[in-house]
Amino acid sequence: MSKSTIEDTDPKKIKDLENDSHGGEEDGNSDSTTEADAKSTKKEEESPATFDKAIEGAGFGLFNLILLFVSIPAQSAAIFESSSMSYILPVAECDLRLTLEDKGVLNAVAYAGMTISAVIWGYLADTKGRKKILYWGYLIDAVCVFGSALSQNFIMLVVFKFLGGLVVNGPAAVLFTYITEMHGPKHRSSVLMIIGMVTSTATVSLPLLAWGIFPREWDFEVLGLKIHSWQIFLFVLGIPSLVSGLIFCAMPESPRFLMAQGRNEEALTAFKHIYYVNTRKPKETYPFKALVQEVPNRKSEKGEAIYTIEEKSKETPVTKKQSRTLAESLRSGLQQMKPLVRKPLLSLSLCCYIMQFGIFLGMNTIRLWLPQLFASMAEFEALHSGQDVDASMCTILEFSVNRTAETASNYADACSEPKVISMDMYINNIIVSATGFVGYFFAGGIIRALGPKRMMTYGLFLSGTFGILLYFSVSSLMTLIISATFLTICGIAVSSLLGAVVALFPTQLRTVVVAIAMMCGRFGALSGNLLFPVFIQIGCLPPFIMVSSVLILAGVLSILVPNPAKATFS
């Protein structure tokens, strides 16, 4: 048969087949298709589900709303722990007889605890689970905050703030992981954006709470303990930790963590619970009956150092479970991190760590000393009201140093009357925090328009410029504008840097790099707050040179960072 004949006859055959098909449908044979689809759906439900399928099957509803609700006090607790001291410094100066160095220590001590505990918390979260870290972490942090609220002297306050930073670092870091693991790919990005908004809201709420509490004349004695308004303020800041800990007691363990440990039965129970809360349907109707076995099945052992996944030989009894010691686990973790100390990742990771150190040093030094600066400005302007007196930054810093020294050396005269803080101090801090909140909404669009690399580089150089401009400020209004702009740009630069880290490093190393970068950042915040009062006593210019130079150095290093848009790792 010729080729042309085949071409002529094929359309007829196709038409006949189509007619047969339509006829079959008219005769009711289409039921076979429906039955096939039903069988396919049933087969899909009976086949083991991956984590993403299982979490999508659990739905999105009341459980997720509860989780987002608990993230409000949980994330607020971390912000309050690291930032609360900056607001009590002007108020508690007389009660605690604080020197300038004491103020620097109080601003830095929480970051010292966070820096020391970073690796330990990461290890515990990956071995003991997310839930335990969350509820025990927040409950113990509440005890630390309430302890700081009862502090009667500087040493007692430093100890409790150090312990608070040590403790809150764990649940604060695990919170992001836990919330991410409780949502499917469809909702993860939106949820993380909500957490970012919660963080900004918590930052704004601090000066609002200070505004509402500090002006009250709350001075009384309970069981021999003297209580002042700043202690009431700290007590209120401990409530979010307590509430978070209690709520997390009732939350399920992360099914993502359970599946990664081979504990699929427990993971399936967690999925069914989420499904029940979201849909109000019986747990038995959950669409998946089994989960993909990512690792050999096993259950947790009480007191085990780390959950391990090891193939058992035929000679090994089934009842005997293999486990690793802490030293072996750490050795294994160090082995996994080897690529970070070799080319090509060594120079890149060091660059990111130094940048994070510089950004946090500059940003958190100014952020945590701003309430003290605004309080000194308000006091100076009140003392010289109606006079044509220069209120430059150098004048204010000199005034603040002298007043603090007078309080420490001549307590009786300096603190004979209760310290009155001007409303301007609260309003200025609220404006600065609100500016950062507004800047967060535009950050995503700016980063998309410029690209993360250019945004990071431009932002860091601008931050360095605004850091030195603070030295030339001649009024409280100018200080307010420059500091608000400075902190907002620094915040966007931090987001750009962490986004670059996620894009530039291999998947299995991203969490480690981010954790080390955050540890370096907190060490930078610790260093900056300890050095700031030292440099102030040397002169007016040195502290601002310190802030500006580290940010410009970070900007120079950002030029060497590859463009995340052209990342070769995945």
The DSSP code sequence of 453-512 is HHHHHHHHHHHHHHHHHGGG--SHHHHHHHHHHHHHHHHHHHHHHHHHHHHHS-HHHHHH
Q: What is the mean pLDDT of the chain?
A: 79
Cα torsion 322, 325, 326, 332: sign: negative
Residue 551 tokens read as: 């940010």
**Backbone torsion region of residue 174, taken as left when φ is above 0, otherwise alpha when ψ lies between -120 and 50, otherwise beta:** alpha
Residue 63 tokens read as: 């459980």
Q: How far is CA 483 from CA 10, 77, 377, 466, in A?
A: 78, 24, 14, 8
pLDDT at 307: 35
Per-residue burial over 114-130, b = 16 or more CB atoms within 10 Å of its CB, e = otherwise:
bbbbbeebbbbbbbbbb
Cα 62 to its chain centre, rounded Å, is 24
Q: How far is CA 261 from CA 54, 256, 325, in A?
A: 16, 9, 17
pLDDT tens figures, 266-306: 889 999 999 999 888 888 889 888 888 766 655 544 443 33
Q: State how far the Cα of 181 lies from the Cα of 179, in Å rounded to an integer.
A: 5
Q: Could you tell me the pTM of the whole model?
A: 0.75
pLDDT tens figures, 45-80: 567 888 888 888 888 889 989 988 888 999 899 889
More confident of the two residues 468 and 421: 468
Helix (H, G, I), strand (E, B) or coil at 281: coil
Mean pLDDT of 318-341: 55
CA nearest neighbour of 536 among 370, 351, 348, 394 = 394
pLDDT tens figures, 250-264: 888 888 888 888 888
454 pLDDT band, cuts 50/70/90, is confident
pLDDT at 151 over 80: yes
Q: State how far the Cα of 289 lies from the Cα of 43, in Å rounded to an integer.
A: 11
Contact 473, 482 (CB under 8 A): yes
Contact 75, 172 (CB under 8 A): yes
Contact 256, 51 (CB under 8 A): yes
Q: How far is CA 425 from CA 236, 244, 536, in A?
A: 20, 30, 21
**415-429, 470-484, 511-525: which is most confident:** 470-484
pLDDT at 101 over 80: yes
What residue type is 532 in one-letter code?
F
pLDDT at 569: 46
pLDDT at 319 over 80: no
pLDDT at 476: 83
More confident of the two residues 274 and 16: 274
Residue 172 tokens read as: 């604060």
pLDDT at 14: 44
3-state helix, strand, coil in the chain (%, to 5): 75, 0, 20
336 pLDDT band, cuts 50/70/90, is low
Contact 218, 229 (CB under 8 A): yes
Within 8 A by CB and 6+ apart from 374, the residues are 424, 425, 428, 429, 476, 479, 480
pLDDT at 339: 64
Mean pLDDT of 81-99: 87
**Helix intervals (H) in 250-336:** 255-260, 264-279, 326-336
Residue 332 tokens read as: 């294994």
Q: State how far the Cα of 165 lies from the Cα of 144, in Å rounded to an integer.
A: 9
pLDDT at 26: 44
Give 183: exposed, middle or buried? Use CB within 10 Å, 0-12, 13-18, 19+: buried
Residue 304 tokens read as: 């085990």
DSSP 565: G
Residue 81 tokens read as: 């722990």
Within 10 angstroms of residue 260's Cβ, the number of other Cβ atoms is 17
Give 536: exposed, middle or buried? Use CB within 10 Å, 0-12, 13-18, 19+: buried
pLDDT at 12 over 70: no
Q: State how far the Cα of 448 lies from the Cα of 458, in Å rounded to an integer.
A: 14
CA nearest neighbour of 183 among 6, 351, 54 = 54
Planar angle of CA 349, 463, 372, nearest 5 degrees: 110
Helix (H, G, I), strand (E, B) or coil at 54: helix
pLDDT tens figures, 489-547: 888 888 778 777 767 776 566 667 777 888 888 899 999 999 998 898 888 899 999 99
Cα 52 to its chain centre, rounded Å, is 24
Domains and CATH numbers, the chain: 40-297 (1.20.1250.20), 338-570 (1.20.1250.20)
Within 10 angstroms of residue 485's Cβ, the number of other Cβ atoms is 17
Beta strands in 173-232 (DSSP E): 220-222, 225-227
Q: What distance separates the 2 farthest-apart alpha carbons in the chain? A: 117
pLDDT at 546: 94
